[in-house]
Amino acid sequence: MLAAYNIGKKYKQIWALEPLSFRLERGIYGLLGPNGAGKSTLMRLLAGLMTPSTGEATIQGVSVRNGVHARSRIGYVPQTFQLYPNLTARELLRHTARLKGGASHAEQEKEVERLLCSVNLEAKADRPTRTYSSGMVKRLGIAQALVGSPDVIIVDEPTTGLDPEERLRLRNLLAEVAMRSVILLSTHILSDVETSCKEAIVLTNGKLRYNGPLNGLSRYAQGRLWQWEASELEWRSMAQERLLAARRTADGVLCRTIADAPPTPYAQLAEPSMEEGYLALITDREARLHECAR
Ligand SMILES: Nc1ncnc2c1ncn2[C@@H]1O[C@H](COP(=O)(O)OP(=O)(O)OP(=O)(O)O)[C@@H](O)[C@H]1O
């Protein structure tokens, strides 16, 4: 449904995103990577908001750069969503529905009311958006992206600014939308990916490092994830930044780290989590580059 063919972007002579290809069918996908990995660049390319230096992206075979036709099939929520401060949420959604077109006035009105309700903004729908909290702005951005039931929805940092109840509401809403659309969520919060996505795309340094099932990530730390119980004194003398986890126990501190050899004589290999696999992948060196699951 959403396909990238050798798509890439460079500024001057430097690749912000090296050419990459993939194909995504209906469902929710996590887009992961450290700062500067190329996530925003990829999202903007897929949303048709940026001209690629090479390759192209298509939705149902139509280029995302192909004007109104392709753009009405994409909903994009950037990290910071710009609003017209004097418009209300209802007015903004009506305006978006009119721009996207393709439905009668009555259908547009019905959709606006349904979306306001879905993101829990109906009670504040007639207040100017300048009076909204950051979480409300985020929810309005998501509602706006869903207008017209696009085939592809791309959301940058979906849960930033949302309280736990609103996170849950959003998760349920996206799960429902994913029955008919491709949803790409870029986030640094791995638990969001774990709870919502079945697959992940990982970028580092502008390169595609992984594209596959979430549970496939743990293998990057397999055989290299060590766990041991340190005394509090030992723990204090360790290089803390190398520890993935440290949890206090009755006798000391339970430590976990990734290393090719045991960090202490009494460390034992442990079963890595998805998050530990992800950390192993993004901190690995060139040897593991391009090791994609598909
Ligand atoms: N306009 C630009 N000119 C030059 N380089 C750019 C430009 N925009 C982005 N880059 C570079 O492209 C690379 C990828 O940036 P991008 O914003 O896509 O990363 P990101 O993964 O979204 O990062 P973050 O998690 O911090 O938002 C970075 O090295 C960045 O410095």
9-44: string of b/e by CB count within 10 Å (b at 16+)?
Answer: bbeeeebbbbbbebebeebbbbbbbeeebbbbbbbb
Please choose, from the candidates 4, 22, 30, the residue with its C-alpha nearest in 3D space to the C-alpha of residue 178.
30
Predicted pLDDT of residue 127:
95
User: In the chain, what is the straight-line distance between the N-terminal and C-terminal CA atoms, in Å?
Assistant: 17
As a whole number of angstroms, the distance between CA 175 and CA 166 comes to: 14
ipTM of the complex: 0.97
Residues of the chain where predicted confidence (pLDDT) is lower than 70: 71, 241, 284-294
Predicted pLDDT of residue 192:
85
Predicted pLDDT of residue 224:
92
Predicted pLDDT of residue 289:
42
Predicted pLDDT of residue 232:
84
Atom of ligand 1 nearest to the CA of 79: 27
Give yes or no for residue 38 CB within 6 A of ligand 1. Answer: yes
Q: Which two tokens stand for residue 144?
A: 């706006």
Predicted pLDDT of residue 45:
96
Distance of CA 110 from the midpoint of ligand 1 (Å)? 39
DSSP code per residue over 151-192: SEEEEESTTTT--HHHHHHHHHHHHHHTTTSEEEEE-S-HHH
Fold of 2-217: Rossmann fold (3.40.50)
Distance of CA 39 from the midpoint of ligand 1 (Å)? 8
H or E element at residue 127: none
Predicted pLDDT of residue 290:
44
Question: Mind listing the pLDDT tens digit for each residue in 16-41?
Answer: 999 999 999 999 999 999 999 999 99
Give yes or no for residue 204 CB within 6 A of ligand 1. Answer: no
Distance of CA 17 from the midpoint of ligand 1 (Å)? 9
Predicted pLDDT of residue 288:
46
Question: Mind listing the pLDDT tens digit for each residue in 43-67?
Answer: 999 999 999 999 999 999 899 988 7
Predicted pLDDT of residue 292:
41
Rg (the chain; Cα; Å) = 22
User: How many residues appear in the chain?
Assistant: 294
Domains of the chain: which residue ranges?
Answer: 2-217, 223-271
**pTM as predicted:** 0.89
Three-state DSSP class for residue 198: coil
Predicted pLDDT of residue 16:
97
